[in-house]
Amino acid sequence: MCANVHMHLCSLSDWRKQHFQALNVTLDPASAHPGLVLSRNGKFMRVENAGKSAEETFSVLGREPITSGRHYWEVKVEMEIGNKATWHLGICRDSAKRSGGFRESPGMGFWAIGCSDGTFQPMISKQSVPPSLGKPPEQIGIFLDYEAGNVSFYNMTDGSHIYNFSRASFSGPVRPYFSIQTLNTSFTICDVSDRPESIPAPSLETPVTAQEQEKFLGDKNKALEDKSTPTQSHTPPHYKLVSQNTK
């Protein structure tokens, strides 16, 4: 039975890789808070200094607006051990308010998870008590199914599922979202162009129809049978750029 379960999960892993497109995310300097430092290649970010206002949220968006399809990207999170870090990542509506201080929640157009004073949790409304998500992973995968209104987060180190937002109403373009509020914390957007076969299986909450799985497994079996048969801009002034190896 265990072998069958393992084979089934591997098949679903292949299904996810085949049906989600790797998105080459880069940070948009025009959307960056002036307290953030971005690398020139748009793949790295950190906070500039400790003189930040508690009333402001230091955030930046990805350049890539998303209006359809299934996409995924990965982010490496680095923070000091024992540091009560505050950071968030996920997606937000292109039209979401990000000036001054704001709270990320689906009602405000944000679907994100992160650390708040060291507690790893989903970002939901103030009226709800967010569940603790345990220890924050070093590398997080964000999987977006726009048409289904589904945003799933995975620990890309061990393949485990972290959290899932379902039946979201995006009402227009969304973009990758990143926020860091504390020093000694940084994000690096990973290269997913050559993602290995170990991409995690979809969350059980992710809408995947039986017809889609049946078709995929049938196509995969046919491919295995065939294989076994012998044959023949410029830089805006309000933020700071650094080289990739500067932290």
Domains of the chain by residue range: 2-213+234-242
Sort 177 into a burial class: Cβ within 10 Å, 0-12 / 13-18 / 19+.
Answer: buried
Q: Which two tokens stand for residue 3?
A: 């072998």
- Please tell me the predicted confidence (pLDDT) of residue 52: 54
Specify the 3-state DSSP secondary structure of 77: strand
Residue type at position 180: I
Sort 26 into a burial class: Cβ within 10 Å, 0-12 / 13-18 / 19+.
Answer: middle
Cα(2)–Cα(246) distance, rounded to whole angstroms? 47
The answer to whether 71 and 147 are in contact (CB under 8 A) is: no
- All residue ranges of the chain with pLDDT < 50 are 1-14, 196-199, 201-213, 216-217, 220, 223-224, 227-239, 242-247
Largest CA distance in the chain: 68
- Please tell me the predicted confidence (pLDDT) of residue 17: 55
End-to-end Cα spacing for the chain: 49
From the options 3.30.70.1400, 2.60.120.920, 3.40.50.300, 1.10.3720.10, give the CATH code of 2-213+234-242: 2.60.120.920
DSSP class per residue in 136-163: PPSEEEEEEETTTTEEEEEETTT--EEE
Specify the residue for token string 């998500």: 133
- Please tell me the predicted confidence (pLDDT) of residue 96: 92
- Quick one: CA dihedral 183, 26, 141, 122, positive or negative? positive
- Residue of 42, 96, 93 whose CA lies nearest to 67: 93
- Quick one: CA dihedral 195, 201, 207, 213, positive or negative? positive
Cα torsion through 80, 92, 29, 34, rounded to 10? -60
- Residue of 67, 63, 34 whose CA lies nearest to 177: 63
- Please tell me the predicted confidence (pLDDT) of residue 41: 96
Residue 134 CB neighbour total at 10 angstroms: 11
